[in-house]
Amino acid sequence: MEKRGTTARAEILAGVTTFATMAYIVVVNPAILSFAGLPTGPSTVATILAAAFGSIAMGLYANRPFAVAPYMGENAFIAFGLAALGITWPQRLGAVFWGGVLFAAITLLGVRRWLAAAVPAGLKHSFAVGIGLFLALIGLYESGVVTSFVTGLPPAALASSPTGALLPPGAPLKLGDLHDARVLLAAGGFTLMAVLLQRGVRGAILIGMAATAAVGIALGQGEAPRAVLALPLRGEYALAPIALHLDLWGVLRPAFLPVLLTLFLMGFLDTLGTLVGLGAAAGLLDERGDLPDIERPMMVDAATCVFSGLVGTSTAGAFIESATGIREGARTGLAAVTTGALFLASLFFIPLMQPLQALRYAYAPALVVVGLLMTASARHLQFDDLTELVPAFATITMMVFTYNIANGLTAGLVLHPVVKVAARRSGEVRPGAWVLAAMSLLYYVLGLPH
Which of 178, 199, 230 is the C-terminal boundary of a domain?
Answer: 178
Q: Which of 136, 159, 178 is the last residue of a domain?
A: 178
Domain for residue 450, yes or no? no
First to last CA, the chain: 39
User: DSSP assignment of 13-29, as one string?
Assistant: HHHHHHHHHHTTHHHHH
The verdict on residue 160 lying in a domain is yes
For residue 57, the model assigns a pLDDT of 97
**Is residue 433 situated within a structural domain?**
yes
Same domain, 20 and 155: no
> Residues 165, 263: one domain?
no
What's the CA gap between 448 and 450, in Å, rounded? Answer: 6
Side chain identity, residue 408: G
Same domain (yes/no): 172, 304: no
Q: Let me know if residue 273 belongs to a domain.
A: yes
Residue type, position 175, single letter: L
Phi/psi zone of residue 358: left (φ > 0), alpha (ψ -120 to 50 degrees), beta?
alpha
Let me know whether 165 and 192 are in one domain. no
Looking at residue 250, what is its pLDDT?
A: 80
Residue 359 has φ and ψ, to the nearest 5°, of -105, 30
Domain residues for the domain of 98 are 8-144+180-445
Does residue 432 share a domain with residue 393? yes
Burial of 351: CB neighbours in 10 Å, binned 0-12, 13-18, 19+: middle
Rounded Cα–Cα distance for residues 61 and 86 (Å):
38
Closest CA to 373 of 20, 207, 136: 136
Task: Please check whether residue 238 lies inside any domain of the structure.
Answer: yes
CA 368 to chain centre: 14
Tell me if residue 117 falls in helix, strand or coil.
helix
Question: CB-side exposure of 292: number of CA atoms within 13 Å?
Answer: 8
Domain shared by 251 and 348, yes or no: yes
CB-side exposure of 260: number of CA atoms within 13 Å?
A: 20
Residues 97 and 166 in one domain: no
Distance separating alpha carbons of residues 94 and 246, to the nearest angstrom:
5
Q: Tell me: do 83 and 217 sit in the same domain.
A: yes
Alpha helices in 67-168 (DSSP H): 72-76, 89-108, 111-117, 121-143, 155-159
Assess if residue 3 is contained within a domain: no
Amino acid occupying residue 341: A
Q: Both 44 and 150 in a single domain? A: no
Question: What's the number of domains the chain is made of?
Answer: 2
Do 93 and 166 lie in one domain? The reply is no
Residues 27 and 157 in one domain: no
Number of residues that make up the chain: 450
Q: What angle do CA 115, 138, 372 make, to 5 degrees?
A: 75
Q: Does 342 lie in the same domain as 411? A: yes
pLDDT in tens, the chain (450 residues): 888 888 899 899 999 989 988 887 887 788 778 878 888 889 989 999 999 999 999 999 999 999 999 987 677 777 766 665 678 888 889 989 998 998 899 888 888 778 777 888 788 788 878 878 888 888 898 888 888 765 443 434 434 444 444 444 556 777 888 888 999 999 999 999 999 888 877 677 878 888 888 899 889 887 666 666 777 777 777 888 888 988 888 878 776 766 776 677 677 777 877 888 788 877 777 777 677 788 899 899 999 999 999 999 988 999 888 888 888 888 899 999 999 999 999 998 887 766 655 678 887 888 888 788 888 888 888 899 999 999 999 999 998 888 777 788 888 989 999 999 999 998 889 988 898 888 888 877 766 555
8-22 and 333-345 helices, crossing angle to 10°: 50
Domain boundary among 128, 157, 178: 178
CA 435, CA 272: separation in Å to the nearest integer? 14
What is the DSSP-derived secondary structure letter of residue 249? Answer: T
**What is the distance between the alpha carbons of residues 305 and 264, in angstroms, rounded to a whole number?**
11
Decide if 133 contacts 403 (C-beta within 8 A). no
Residue 2 lies in a domain: no
Within-domain flag for 249:
yes
Residue 56 burial class via C-beta count within 10 angstroms: exposed 0-12, middle 13-18, buried 19 and up: buried
Return all residues near 113 (Cβ < 8 A) that are at least 6 apart: 107, 294, 295, 298
